[in-house]
Structures are given as structure tokens and as C-alpha cells.
């Protein structure tokens, strides 16, 4: 193995760019699956892992997509065996994103046996008509069945993704979805308001005025989400992310969990994403994946064919590299970290970026506090509940 003078990178993201069918709202890079292309991708990914393994010692791994669960058993086994050979297994947190239509008992057991210990399942809604409207390939029943399959395979850390403010979704439908999703008993919940991404069918429908956007209803749905998640034992630790906090959580916390838990994050919070939000380094492998290593941001070609061609020549498939000034980078890091309920502890910020949050951005912190969007504590700065709602506007203030 090569010697490296640099510290090893502890987070690994792998992008799997295939979906059975493109959903109406989604702008993530993925294409309709095709057996031959997936085989070629699998080999290229193993090659990319070989090129990077010498400086990787992942504590968190996240296979996202696209739909990683679309890969078949043989393809998964090839990837996981390569990771074993390259000593990339053994992460504390190893997540794989799954679509409920593509979870099978064999696949779940295989993943679990190689150390995958967290599954993130794209549910979006439990209303059959909305699932259809969104172009999802699965039914409600498949969600319940897949969740059961995951539990039986030994997964005790499962996330569920939901979306709200979907065209046609009433408050009543949203409440029913929340009730049923919470009743599944997952350890983690991510819930995003629909974003109208350009070049998606949903965006085109919006442009064609096929429906109206009701911002007030979207706000009420978000409030409902926060209330219901809190009441069910979830701590909100980021704008759209909620996690449970070990077996004692229910008796330990009251219904409103908008506060920093003792250990800063609930125990089932996603470590991989916390590393992103807190400005940590990570490798990104696979078509379109971004990475952030030694202050340089890289992006792989968002084109599976080009990606494979590069790796077949023995080269990384990097489309672009960007190195920000340390101050610009610190500004971005400040903005990202403030998406978290725990905000930024000043000492952590200084250790990560080399800059003093109170010194460099003192005026901004003061403005945010005066507006009621921010709260200054002796050891940290955090956005208030109101501030978190305007986190994008708050983030702008930190960019240099």
C-alpha cells in the first residue's frame, strides 16, 4: 500500500447512478437502469476505489443515488468484496439508500453481513395517488413489506424519507402519512418540502400552471412535522432531519425537542451528513459525486459512460476541481453548520476552519440575533426555530 503524508479521509460517498424509472421531481444524476451499463459501472467503481483506497479509512460510508438497492446480488458482492480487499469496510456507520421496490431479503442479508448498518429508504408518501403522481415505482404496501424485510435482516437503524407540500397533498393526507410513517418505528426521519428542480416534469407542470404552490400550507405542514416527530420521540437536529436518541429517549425528553441534547446530537443522527454540515473532508466516488479533500472540492463527470471510460484508462473521472480561499471556505462551512439545531460551537469552528466565528462574522451574528433568527450562547451560536426557517437567507450572510 502507498505511503501518504496526509491524514486519511474518514468519510466516503459513493454515487450509484441508476433508477428503475425517473421520479417526476428528481434532479439527482441517474439514468434508467440497463444491465450492461451497470456491469461496466461496477467494474469502474472498483477501479476508482483502488485508486483512492490508500488514503481512505472510512468511519462513515454512504451509498446514495440514484437507487443503490437496484444493483443485484452479484454486483453488490463484487463491490463489497473489493472494499474488503482494500480494507474499506468496518465503518462505524455504513448507509445504503434503498427504494422500497428493490429491497429483497437476500440483498438485505448480504448488505448486513458486510457491515452495512443503516438503511435510508425513500418513502416520500404513503398515499397511493400521490405516489403515482410523483412517478414512484412502489406502492404503500411495498413500504411496509420492505421495512419488515430490513428489520428481519437485522437493521436496527433505518431512516425514512418523506416529502411534503406535494401538489395535491392536503393537510389531512400529510397527517395520515406522518401517522403511518411514525408507526413504523424507524430510528430516523428526513423530510423535505418539494423543491421544483428545473428540467423535471413537476417543474414543467408548475410552469404550465397545472397547480398552485401554497406557501402557507407548506409552512403548516412543516410545523405539523416538527410537532408530530417531537411527540414520537424524535429530536430535530437539522432543518429536515430528526433522530431518536437511544432507548431512554422517550422518558428523558418532553414533547418539544428544539434544544441541543446533552451529547449535542441524538445517538441515531446520521454521522455521515453531520460530517458534511460541519465542513469535514470526504471522498466522493461514482458519476457526478462531489468530494472535498484537503480543501479542494472535486466533482466527477455526471455521465456514466465518460466516467467508465476514464477509469478503464486507469484515471480518476474528475470533471472539475475548485480550491476556495480559506476565508471563503470558512464562510461556507459556517453557513452549512448553521443548518444544524446545535449550531456552531465556537471552538469546533475554529478547529475546523482556522477562523474565529465571532471575530470574522461578528456583525452578522449580531444582526441575526437582533432579528430573532439567531441565539448567542457562551460557547456557541445557533439559529432559532424562526431562523432555521430562513436558513438559506441566513447562510448568504456568511459567504465571502
Ligand X SMILES: C[S@@+](CC[C@H](N)C(=O)[O-])C[C@H]1O[C@@H](n2cnc3c(N)ncnc32)[C@H](O)[C@@H]1O
Residues at the contact surface with ligand X, assessed by CB under 6 A: 25-26, 28, 64-65, 67, 97, 99, 122, 124, 161, 163, 192, 194-195, 197
Residue (241 or 333) nearer to ligand X, CB: 241
Q: Provide, rounded to whole angstroms, the least separation between the CB of residue 161 and ligand X.
A: 3
| Under rule CB under 6 A, residue 30 binds ligand SF4 | yes
CA 377, 339, 398: angle at the middle one, nearest 5? 80
Sign of the CA dihedral 46, 51, 54, 56?
negative
The one of ligand X, ligand SF4, none whose footprint includes residue 71, by CB under 5 to 8 A per kind, is none
Q: Provide, rounded to whole angstroms, the least separation between the CB of residue 86 and ligand SF4.
A: 26
Q: Provide, rounded to whole angstroms, the least separation between the CB of residue 135 and ligand SF4.
A: 7
The cell numbers describing 241, all together, are: 432531519
Q: Provide, rounded to whole angstroms, the least separation between the CB of residue 70 and ligand X.
A: 9
Residue (137 or 376) nearer to ligand SF4, CB: 137
Residue (15 or 355) nearer to ligand SF4, CB: 15
Residue (25 or 235) nearer to ligand X, CB: 25
Q: Provide, rounded to whole angstroms, the least separation between the CB of residue 125 and ligand X.
A: 10
Residue (65 or 287) nearer to ligand SF4, CB: 65
Residue (66 or 167) nearer to ligand SF4, CB: 66
For ligand SF4 (CB under 6 A), the number of binding residues is: 11
Q: Which of 19, 119, 150, 243 binds ligand SF4 (CB under 6 A)?
A: 19
Q: Provide, rounded to whole angstroms, the least separation between the CB of residue 69 and ligand SF4.
A: 10
Q: Provide, rounded to whole angstroms, the least separation between the CB of residue 135 and ligand X.
A: 10
| Under rule CB under 6 A, residue 23 binds ligand SF4 | yes
Residue (23 or 162) nearer to ligand SF4, CB: 23
Q: Which of 22, 316, 375, 385 binds ligand SF4 (CB under 6 A)?
A: 22
Nearest to 384 by CA among 338, 316, 331, 326: 338
The cell numbers describing 271, all together, are: 454521522
The one of ligand X, ligand SF4, none whose footprint includes residue 22, by CB under 5 to 8 A per kind, is ligand SF4
| Contact by Cβ (8 Å): 293, 285 | no
Residue (18 or 346) nearer to ligand X, CB: 18
User: CA distances (Å), 66 to each of 27, 107, 219, 251, 332, in order?
Assistant: 10, 17, 28, 38, 26
The one of ligand X, ligand SF4, none whose footprint includes residue 31, by CB under 5 to 8 A per kind, is none
Q: Provide, rounded to whole angstroms, the least separation between the CB of residue 30 and ligand SF4.
A: 5
User: CA distances (Å), 328 to each of 325, 334, 335, 339, in order?
Assistant: 5, 10, 11, 18
Residue (202 or 260) nearer to ligand X, CB: 202
Q: Provide, rounded to whole angstroms, the least separation between the CB of residue 121 and ligand X.
A: 7
Residues 108-147 that bind ligand SF4 (CB under 6 A): 122
What is the rounded CA–CA span in Å between residue 16 and residue 285? Answer: 9
Residue (195 or 263) nearer to ligand SF4, CB: 195
Pattern 57-96, binding to ligand SF4, x per CB under 6 A?
--------xxx-----------------------------
What is the rounded CA–CA span in Å between residue 28 and residue 136? Answer: 15
| Under rule CB under 6 A, residue 317 binds ligand SF4 | no
The cell numbers describing 275, all together, are: 460530517
Q: Provide, rounded to whole angstroms, the least separation between the CB of residue 106 and ligand X.
A: 19
CA count, 13 A, side-chain hemisphere, 69: 24
Given the rule CB under 6 A, which residues bind ligand SF4?
A: 19, 22-23, 26, 28, 30, 65-67, 99, 122
Amino acid at each position: 500500500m502507498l505511503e501518504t503524508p496526509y491524514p486519511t479521509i474518514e468519510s466516503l460517498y459513493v454515487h450509484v447512478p441508476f433508477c428503475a424509472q425517473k421520479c417526476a421531481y428528481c434532479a439527482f444524476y441517474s439514468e434508467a437502469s440497463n444491465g450492461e451499463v451497470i456491469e461496466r459501472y461496477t467494474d469502474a467503481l472498483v477501479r476508482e476505489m483502488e485508486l483512492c483506497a490508500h488514503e481512505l479509512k472510512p468511519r462513515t460510508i454512504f451509498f446514495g443515488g440514484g437507487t443503490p438497492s437496484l444493483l443485484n446480488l452479484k454486483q453488490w458482492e463484487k463491490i463489497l468484496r473489493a472494499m474488503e480487499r482494500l480494507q474499506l469496510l468496518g465503518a462505524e456507520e455504513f448507509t445504503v439508500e434503498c427504494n422500497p421496490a428493490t429491497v429483497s431479503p437476500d440483498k438485505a442479508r448480504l448488505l448486513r453481513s458486510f457491515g452495512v448498518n443503516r438503511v435510508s429508504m425513500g418513502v416520500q408518501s404513503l398515499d397511493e395517488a400521490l405516489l403515482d403522481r410523483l412517478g414512484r415505482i412502489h406502492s404503500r404496501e411495498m413500504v411496509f413489506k420492505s421495512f419488515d424485510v430490513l428489520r428481519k435482516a437485522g437493521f436496527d437503524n433505518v431512516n425514512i424519507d418523506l416529502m411534503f407540500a406535494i401538489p395535491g397533498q392536503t393537510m389531512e393526507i400529510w397527517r395520515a402519512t406522518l401517522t403511518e410513517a411514525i408507526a413504523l418505528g424507524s430510528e430516523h426521519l428526513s423530510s423535505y418540502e418539494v423543491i421544483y428542480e428545473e428540467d423535471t416534469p413537476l417543474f414543467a407542470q408548475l410552469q404550465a400552471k397545472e397547480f398552485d404552490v401554497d406557501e402557507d400550507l407548506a409552512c403548516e405542514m412543516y410545523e405539523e412535522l416538527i410537532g408530530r416527530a417531537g411527540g414520537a420521540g424524535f429530536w430535530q437536529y437539522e432543518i429536515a432531519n430528526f433522530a431518536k436518541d437511544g432507548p431512554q429517549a422517550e422518558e428523558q425528553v418532553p414533547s418539544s425537542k428544539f434544544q441541543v441534547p446533552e451529547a449535542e446530537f441524538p445517538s441515531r443522527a446520521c454521522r455521515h451528513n453531520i460530517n458534511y454540515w460541519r465542513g469535514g473532508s470526504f471522498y466522493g466516488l461514482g458519476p457526478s459525486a462531489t468530494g472535498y479533500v484537503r480543501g479542494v472540492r472535486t466533482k466527477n463527470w455526471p455521465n456514466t459512460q465518460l466516467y467508465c471510460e476514464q477509469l478503464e484508462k486507469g484515471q480518476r473521472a474528475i470533471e472539475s476541481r475548485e480550491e476556495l480561499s480559506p476565508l471563503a471556505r470558512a464562510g461556507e462551512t459556517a453557513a452549512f453548520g448553521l443548518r444544524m439545531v446545535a449550531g456552531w460551537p465556537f471552538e469546533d469552528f475554529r478547529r475546523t476552519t482556522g477562523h474565529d466565528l465571532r471575530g470574522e462574522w461578528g456583525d452578522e451574528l449580531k444582526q441575526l440575533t437582533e432579528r430573532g433568527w439567531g441565539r448567542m450562547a457562551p460557547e456557541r451560536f445557533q439559529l432559532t426555530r424562526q431562523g432555521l426557517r430562513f436558513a438559506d437567507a441566513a447562510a448568504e450572510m456568511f459567504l465571502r
